[in-house]
Amino acid sequence: MKAWLPTILRGLLFVVLVAFLLSPTTFEPVLKPLVDTNAPAIYNQGSLLDLTLQHLSTVFIATLVAIVVAILLAILVTRPFGAEFLPLSRSLVNIGQTFPPVAVLALAVPAVGFGEKPTLIALFLYGLLPIFENTLTALTNLPRSVMEAARGSGMTNFQRLMKVELPLSLPIIVAGIRLSVTIGLATATIGSTVAARTLGEVIIAGLQSNNLAFILQGGLIVGALAVLIYDGLSAVEKMLTRRLGIA
Amino acid sequence: MTEVFQAGLPFGLFPGGGLKIRFDKLGIVIAIIAASGLVFSTFAVLKPNRILQGQAKTILEALPAWAGYGLLILLIAAIAAALFRTSPWIKLIAAAASLTALALAIGYAAGFLTPAGNTYARVSPASGFWILIFAFALLAADALTRLQPPPWMRVLFLCITAIGIAALLFSGSWNGLSIMKEYAGRADVFWTEAGKHVTLALGSLFAAALVGLPLGILCHRVSSLRAGVLNTLNLVQTIPSIALFGILIGPLAWVALNVPGAAALGIRGIGMAPAFVALFLYSLLPIVANTVVGLAGVPREANDAARGIGMTDRQRLFQVEFPLALPVILTAIRIVLVQNIGMATIAALIGGGGFGVFVFQGIGQTAMDLVLLGAVPTVALAFAAAVVLDALIEMNSRVPNGVSAA
Amino acid sequence: MIEIDAITKRYDDNTVVDNVSMVIEPRTVTVIVGTSGSGKTTLLRMINRLVEPTSGVIKLDGEDNRAIPGHELRRRIGYAIQGHGLFPHRTVAQNIATVPTLLGWEKSRIDAKVDELLTLFQLDPKTFGPRYPHELSGGQQQRVGVARALAAEPNVLLMDEPYGALDPIIRAKAQEDLLAIQKHFGTTIVLVTHDMNEAFHLADKIAVMDKGRVLQYGPPEELVRAPETPFVETLIGDTERPFRLLAIAKAGAAAEPGEAEGEPIREDKTQQEALADLLWTGRSALPVVSASGAPMGRVTLDALLKRATRPSGSAR
């Protein structure tokens, strides 16, 4: 019974989230006490569902590109050819993480203008780091005995990469993706300050009109998405780990 | 092809020896970036006023001939230093010289380009300048990575850089630049907001450490508490910062109204209070989680021996567990501090002040130089904090894991 | 003297140590052997109260070990464990100084003690004192671990699988050192191990434990001659029995008057070594000499074979 509780709670969260997005007005009575009598309790400057999908697709596209680039880069610097770049790439990851998201967002504006693009750039750069870092960690910490066995059984470099190194690294890479998506979901809200269409719009509208209901619904939708995606990816990670017999 | 790139024995300025010239792979990348900054991009922009589009100028257009050619020759020499396998020190010096020259040149260009007596015209760095800065910063980072300077030396380098930038600022050689004109117009506000920014970032970190460390120790000792506390703090992290800042407005406004004395302490619904509380809440997870991980990572034998030879629980905590967990806890402090410095910019959205004020005002007015006035100090602050704390972490972890011990 | 009286430790329904009573004589080496899960470590840890017993009493020199707070008790008793348990953030000298510092000794006295112990363990104080544990080899770390346990001059030293992580050659050396140091300080040593050879090598008395009970407690010879349960017999090993008997007796004890050819053996070597020498060189007798080289007669193959034969009156 106790073991099922978290799963049931998550299912419930998902159902409530979907219900809220499909028919926000049903929930109006819940949010009404938070606002002045004549202020709207449900976001009325656009469809919440639309914004949510927009939000998700922005994060999805940025993360997808980040995954491809990060893994390719990590593979490159762990091959003998790219070994020279390994130390520097570690330092760059370290330095890159000190750039605040708002700064990246704001600094991207002069280069690409307002709207979706600076948000995508910021999300991509921010998403890149955790995935790259994790892939690098995984690829450089593979069990020596397994690597020796792979070489010893006559695999080519490419076969070793595809059949041994990457599969073994997968759980840690997925952990990086999970981190990157969670950060991305939250960072995307800031994208609204540079006119990207994300759920941040709802929150900022709430801040501007002093409407707590707006702030809360915007924040909670993003929070719920983050929790669900985080848990989903955690489950994938656990499954992969178990399949590899690491845990 | 690969033959040429193999590292040789270092002797003289061109390690690798022989007559064969050896290229540095990263140097090639840096050279390509720098060359594209030199050839395909412009160095500075002259705008009729702070908002309008401007005319782009190349290095030779933006500077008088002697300075323009001088800068070009210096940069090409530095690119050469990057391109070949030379000592990292030479690369570092080349990078530092280039960065200094670029910094001086952009200030000089501002004075040179602004028509005399025109107070509306603005000169800003253009893409080429930023690309060159990026290329040589990369070169410097690579040289530093290869030199593996000890922690104190890294902090020394940071201080030298800070003093250099301060000298440039005080000498007035950047005063012609648009960003400095933005600053000149709001010098007082700038320092007030800077103060608020630092207060928010450091204050919330301090408060989080004060609460998080004991909470972490408690979670370590009482395992039944651990999952609950960590999950709750994890949940807090999923709420986007803007929303958390906003959500806290309500409760804090209530506290200000209903708790006597709270308002006198500066607790209000909007302003610094909700920002402070939000940053505090975000900071708790890394501190608590790392304290737990750090304490759990203390070797079992060391703990057993400590008990076995007669240490009390308190002695064991302060003499064995805490010193051994310190690097991991310091890592959390670093994460939190860097994260807080960045996130404090968002406080501006709820009237909490900080450098974010300039960033969001700048976005609102599409005045990018104003955005820079907020963003550049934020990045610099976060970077400096990271360097200093990384050095601290290394100094503290040198002994126990033995990896970097001499 | 350590008197263990009807000591029992239960975790929920699981009895780990079951009504154990034994008396450990002062200035002897007592080895507790058993398989993993036999309760031997728990028994050891109840002596310095790292584990509190469910029932029963342990007295040290007549005093109940619960008379003073646990941490003060432990400062009086040396404690060395497998994997040494040195504090990685403290130097070798600081590690050894831990207990004297806790006890508030004067600095000069602490320094002198650290130097004395390092020298005793054949580690140069100047070279090794300022080093960190990770800069030492496994054997050196183990020696420092024992030195730390002895720093406050305890009467009793508890050792939990102290040599488990060492390779055989270094382990043999460490065991020799331990015996020498035990003679030097006259410490009462209680050592836990699962290695029967180690037990026979070190012990004045061996206690065999299984499933929380002490099956037999006595001198090594008695365990071989008269194992009280099949488990003890198995632990000693069918094929090892004769050699164990020879291993715990000295060559001098088997010497008889007479002459023999070839390389002599010293009287303080074991009879097992004498047998090995005989077999390997194909001789039927070899001369025995004292430590100073004076002839003491000879040891014959026949005599040794007789000594390795099942003693009359033993169970099987």
pLDDT at A132 over 90: yes
CA angle C167, C169, C175 (to 5 degrees): 95
Looking at the structure, do residues B203 and B156 belong to the same domain, yes or no? no
C82–chain B Cβ distance below 8 A for any pair:
yes
Chain center to CA of A15: 21
Given this model, what pLDDT does residue A245 score? 66
Given this model, what pLDDT does residue B11 score? 39
pLDDT tens column, C10-42: 998 899 999 999 999 999 999 999 988 899 999
3-state SS of A121-185 is HHHHHHHHHHHHHHHHHHHHCCCHHHHHHHHHCCCCHHHHHHHHHHHHHHHHHHHHHHHHHHHHH
Beta-carbon contacts below 8 Å between B and C: 80
Which residue of B lies nearest to C103 if distances are taken between CA atoms? B310
Residue A41 or residue C29, greater confidence:
C29
Given this model, what pLDDT does residue B259 score? 72
Closest Cα in chain B, distance from residue C44 (Å): 11
Looking at the structure, do residues B12 and B39 belong to the same domain, yes or no? yes
Given this model, what pLDDT does residue C158 score? 94
pLDDT tens column, B137-162: 999 988 988 888 888 898 999 999 99
Whether residue C74 and residue B323 make contact (CB cut-off 8 A), yes or no, is no
Q: Which helix (H) or strand (E) holds A214?
A: helix A212-244
- C297 pLDDT band, cuts 50/70/90, is confident
- Note whether residue B404 is domain-resident: no
Distance (Å, whole) CA A139 – CA B179: 44
Contact status, residue A225 vs residue A56, Cβ threshold 8 Å: yes
Looking at the structure, do residues B86 and B230 belong to the same domain, yes or no? no
Given this model, what pLDDT does residue B9 score? 37
Distance (Å, whole) CA C145 – CA C124: 16
- Note whether residue B130 is domain-resident: yes
Whether residue B145 and residue A88 make contact (CB cut-off 8 A), yes or no, is yes
CA angle C67, C72, C77 (to 5 degrees): 95
Closest partner residue to A107 among B242, B346, B375, by Cβ? Answer: B375
Residue C48's φ and ψ, nearest 5 degrees, are -100, 15
Asked whether the ipTM of the predicted complex exceeds the cut of 0.85, the reply is no
- Domain endpoint, select from B141, B175, B209: B175
What is the number of domains present in chain B?
A: 2
Residue B209 or residue A41, greater confidence:
B209
Mean pLDDT of chain A: 86
Contact status, residue C128 vs residue C115, Cβ threshold 8 Å: no
Mean pLDDT of B236-241: 81
Do the strands C205-210 and C29-34 form a parallel or antiparallel pair, or are they unpaired? parallel
- Note whether residue B153 is domain-resident: yes
Global pTM?
0.80
- Domain endpoint, select from B128, B143, B175: B175
Residues of A in Cβ contact (< 8 Å) with B383: 95, 98
Looking at the structure, do residues B204 and B146 belong to the same domain, yes or no? no
- Domain endpoint, select from B153, B175, B197: B175
- B388 pLDDT band, cuts 50/70/90, is very high
Contact status, residue A167 vs residue A159, Cβ threshold 8 Å: no
Looking at the structure, do residues B281 and B308 belong to the same domain, yes or no? yes
Looking at the structure, do residues B142 and B108 belong to the same domain, yes or no? yes
pLDDT at B312 over 70: yes
Residue C75's φ and ψ, nearest 5 degrees, are -70, -20
Looking at the structure, do residues B131 and B244 belong to the same domain, yes or no? no
C126–chain B Cβ distance below 8 A for any pair:
no
Distance (Å, whole) CA A177 – CA A224: 18
- B6 pLDDT band, cuts 50/70/90, is very low
Residue C101's φ and ψ, nearest 5 degrees, are -65, -45
pLDDT at C298 over 70: yes
Mean pLDDT of C177-196: 91
Looking at the structure, do residues B141 and B16 belong to the same domain, yes or no? yes
pLDDT tens column, B198-210: 999 999 999 999 9
pLDDT at B58 over 50: yes
B321–chain A Cβ distance below 8 A for any pair:
no
- Note whether residue B114 is domain-resident: yes
Q: What is the DSSP string of B65-96?
A: HHHHHHHHHHHHHHHHHHHB---HHHHHHHHH
Contact status, residue C58 vs residue C158, Cβ threshold 8 Å: no
- Given a contact as 3+ CB pairs under 8 Å, which chains touch C? B
Q: What percent of chain C has pLDDT over 70?
A: 98
pLDDT tens column, B337-384: 998 998 899 888 888 889 999 998 888 888 888 888 999 999 999 999
Contact status, residue C113 vs residue C99, Cβ threshold 8 Å: no
- B398 pLDDT band, cuts 50/70/90, is low
- B1 pLDDT band, cuts 50/70/90, is very low
Multiple choice CATH, A48-244, 1.10.1740.10, 3.20.110.20, 1.10.3720.10, 3.30.70.20:
1.10.3720.10
Domain borders along chain A are 48-244
Most confident residue range from A208-212, C3-7, C235-239: C3-7
Mean pLDDT of B125-141: 90
- Note whether residue B387 is domain-resident: yes
Looking at the structure, do residues B239 and B368 belong to the same domain, yes or no? yes
pLDDT tens column, C116-159: 999 988 899 999 999 998 889 888 998 999 999 999 889 999 99
Given this model, what pLDDT does residue A63 score? 95
Question: For position B391, which CATH number holds?
Answer: 1.10.3720.10
- A42 pLDDT band, cuts 50/70/90, is confident
Mean pLDDT of chain C: 89
Closest Cα in chain A, distance from residue B307 (Å): 30
Residue range of the domain that includes B169 = 2-175
pLDDT at B17 over 70: no
Looking at the structure, do residues B57 and B91 belong to the same domain, yes or no? yes
- Given a contact as 3+ CB pairs under 8 Å, which chains touch B? A, C
Whether residue B299 and residue C88 make contact (CB cut-off 8 A), yes or no, is yes
Mean pLDDT of B216-224: 91
- Note whether residue B389 is domain-resident: yes
Looking at the structure, do residues B85 and B208 belong to the same domain, yes or no? no
Closest Cα in chain B, distance from residue C244 (Å): 33
pLDDT at A111 over 80: no
- A72 pLDDT band, cuts 50/70/90, is very high
Whether residue B309 and residue C75 make contact (CB cut-off 8 A), yes or no, is yes
Lowest mean pLDDT among B87-96, B229-238, C204-213: B229-238
Residue B325: which residues within 8 A CB-CB, separation 6 or more?
A: B291, B294, B295, B297, B298
pLDDT at B307 over 80: yes
Residue A141 or residue A35, greater confidence:
A141
pLDDT at B14 over 60: no
Given this model, what pLDDT does residue A216 score? 84
Q: What dihedral angle (degrees, nearest 10) is formed by the CA atoms of C32, C33, C39, C44?
A: 20
Coil/strand/helix, residue A100? coil
Distance (Å, whole) CA A86 – CA A78: 7
Residue C228: which residues within 8 A CB-CB, separation 6 or more?
A: C215, C216
pLDDT tens column, A151-191: 877 788 888 888 889 988 998 999 999 989 988 898 899 88
Given this model, what pLDDT does residue B399 score? 52
- Note whether residue B223 is domain-resident: yes
Residues of C in Cβ contact (< 8 Å) with B323: 89
Given this model, what pLDDT does residue B176 score? 82
- B3 pLDDT band, cuts 50/70/90, is very low
Distance (Å, whole) CA A30 – CA C190: 70
**What is the torsional sign of CA B320, B322, B326, B332?**
positive
Q: Where are the alpha helices (DSSP H) in B117-240?
A: 127-147, 151-171, 178-185, 187-221, 223-238
Mean pLDDT of B99-110: 90
Given this model, what pLDDT does residue C256 score? 87
CA proximity to A116, closest of A188, A187, A43, A216:
A188
Given this model, what pLDDT does residue B12 score? 40
Given this model, what pLDDT does residue C272 score? 87
Beta-carbon contacts below 8 Å between A and B: 146
- B50 pLDDT band, cuts 50/70/90, is confident
Closest partner residue to C81 among B301, B315, B399, by Cβ? Answer: B301
pLDDT tens column, C79-112: 998 877 888 888 999 999 999 998 999 999 999 9
Given this model, what pLDDT does residue B48 score? 81
B338–chain A Cβ distance below 8 A for any pair:
yes
Most confident residue range from B41-55, B229-243, C218-232, C241-255: C218-232
Most confident residue range from A198-207, B22-31, C207-216: C207-216
Given this model, what pLDDT does residue B20 score? 59
- Note whether residue B182 is domain-resident: no
Distance (Å, whole) CA B388 – CA B338: 11
